[in-house]
Amino acid sequence: MAQSKDKGSQTARQRKNKQTKAKAKGTRSDAKQPFDDDEQPGTPTATGTPRNESDDNGTAQTASEREKHVANAVLKQKLGKELEAFKPGRVKRRRWFISGIVFGVAAALSGILYANPTQSPHINHIHQVLGEFDVTSLLPESLMPEDFIRDVSKLLSLDGFGQETAANYTSGDFQPAQTLVREEGLKKKHNVILIPGIISSGLESWSTADCSRPYFRQRLWGTSTMFKAILLDKECWVQHMMLDKKTGLDPPGIKLRAAKGLDAADYFITGYWIWGKIIENLAVLGYDSNDMDLAAYDWRLSHYDLERRDQYFSSLKSRMEVALKAGGKKTVLVPHSMGSQVIQYFMKWVESPQGGNGGSSWVNDHIEAIVNLAGTPLGVPKTLSSLLSGEQRETVQPLANYLLDHFMNRNELARIFRSWTGLASLLPKGGNAVWGDLGGAPDDQEDAEAVSYGAQIRFDSDSGVGRISNQTMEEALGLLYRVLDADAQRLLRRDYSYGVFRTQAEMDANKEDHRVWTNPLQHQLPRAPNMTIYCLYGHGATTERAYYYAADDMGADGVLHEEFGTPALRIDKRQRAQVSNVDIGIIHGEGDGTVPLLSLGYMCADAWRKPLFNPHGVRVVTREFVHNPLAAFKDIRGGAGASDHINILGNHDVTADLLRVVAGKGHLVEDQFNSNIREYSGRIRIP
């Protein structure tokens, strides 16, 4: 049908062209296009006579034709030569222009997939994503945007290369749940609450003033509205996303709140799932919105302010109490990434008279298990680079990271990141005891050509930093503190602590200090002997561990200086061919692509098995999964074997373990180690 239609339109165009050529022999004006020369309505023609509102045959123009002619002239006068590219007569140029766009998009995306396939957007759904952008309103009519989008989508759909695999994995095959229900008889038992990580919760605008009105109740984080706002209204978007530097809360006149319900973080944008796979699998066991919830939160806020502004922890406590009272069901909490720290804070808050005042038995009575997925108990080093110089690769979710990196400079990013007091919760904890010193680090590689991780920030002799030397983790945090302004310093002191307690006396003296509730090395697990903590995480993906830096601005006194929040340091991206584990200034180590192995595994494999940190014998299970993605042309997200930081939420083995826990068969889930985490943990000198 499409072929016959194309042939028919082609024949019609040929007949029209013949008629036009025949007329051109007798009358010149019939063959003329509106912008074939520099003539404008009412200006002299080549013969010096003003052009009339009728053509050379004496046929009067209609009103609409005259309006169109005048409009075209005005456009030409304003845009000049730029309009030449869109002449109806320049068909060949237009086709080459469109072809160039298609080729450029394809080449760029191919490069992304080749370099880092598991962190790229899901190309098979580009048609849906672009459809939400209303590209038709942004492109000239002559560019035929509908055809352009269709053709680009088709070009990037990976036809012939594992299309069936990709389609099944994207649309939802409800595996491995269907197999486990059939073979192991799994069915729902416990109430389930999913706790998303940093960035993955959608944030929607409730502001009604000024630039906020077009975005009322639309998500400025998550969905294509975010993309459009960054591209077309960046200043307004930044105003909404930044927090007030004095209060750490909403700026005056701005109100951004976490979206609610399961769809708050099931998909980041159309086609790019986050919790969608896990929700589908839980549904196979019989779960629905009555016994499964997603407790989204405004991840920009510190944990202290989450309760102060949104009563987040009070609401979480109430949900679990209702579930137990109404159905006799304890709850399985399933946090991902930063969500693991949110739950650490909650367990101390809910017991404390300063918080939920639930008493020492509340956690044991209400929580069956905590299943940490790619948890970050000891933080993420790349958070340091994000706050120090506004530079990062995956501190934020990959799709958002791509936008921020390409449409904002690092000075703007540093201002935004520093306003997010919640981001500081991901700064590394444990100091030099965990992350090493200038003599070495617990996770140093045996490769003689690899640089040690003990210096979190390194400077070459010609990096221009004067008297500043290589920085250990503790020194690097001190350096960050020095470059923050007074308000950021005050909020950092108010909200967090990053050290280590080594005695019971220290634990007892600080148990009511909310600053230590996000640091598992400065508080103890609750009195919950019937609860189990599961740590499920991936490894085997190249992960940022430390950095080379250079000076961006240095005073004569050798001290870093900043003005208006401009970072005084930058990552030194020079190539260092003589070092095996460094690329463009980033020192790489082991982990899940975002979180280093030390943070993923030390607490679970070691510290939480010691009386100082787990005095009441909470059962702790560690499960490691080697990152084993499919080739990009088979599945852009890595498939069922991917276990990097985000795509672990679609890993079949991880999902199977989770399903067994929520179905009451958690006793079948036992330790599984296949990395060097226990060896590294043995080198950390903490009692």
Catalytic center residues: 337, 592, 645
Structural tokens at position 517: 């509730």
Distance CA 686, CA 610 (A): 10
Structure tokens that stand for 405 in this block: 């990196």
Phi, psi of 548 (to 5 degrees): -95, 135
Q: Is the dihedral of CA 414, 418, 423, 428 positive or negative?
A: positive
Residue 625 CB partners (closer than 8 Å, separation 6+)? 536, 537, 538, 539, 643, 648, 651, 653, 654, 672
The one-letter code for the residue type at 137 is: S
Rounded-to-integer distance, Cα 670 and Cα 620, Å: 9
Phi, then psi, of 623 in degrees rounded to 5: -130, 115
Q: Beta strand 256-258 with 219-221: parallel, antiparallel or unpaired?
A: unpaired
What 3-state DSSP class applies to 11?
Answer: helix
DSSP state of 619: E
Phi, psi of 271 (to 5 degrees): 90, -15
d(CA 34, CA 51) in angstroms, rounded, equals: 13
| 212 φ, ψ (degrees, to nearest 5) | -75, -25
DSSP, res 451: P
Please report which helix (H) or strand (E) contains residue 589, including its range.
Answer: strand 586-589
Calpha distance 380→444 (Å, rounded)? 17
Amino acid in the structure at residue 502: R
Instruction: Yes or no: say if 595 and 645 are a contact pair by the CB < 8 Å rule.
Output: yes
Do 275 and 265 touch, CB atoms closer than 8 A? yes
Scanning 199-251, the segments in alpha helix (DSSP H) are 223-232, 234-241
**Residue 387, C-beta contacts closer than 8 angstroms, at least 6 positions apart:** 414, 417, 418, 423, 424, 427, 480, 484
d(CA 494, CA 307): 15
Q: Which amino acid is at 270?
A: T
Lookup result for tokens 């009103």: 63
Residues in the chain: 687
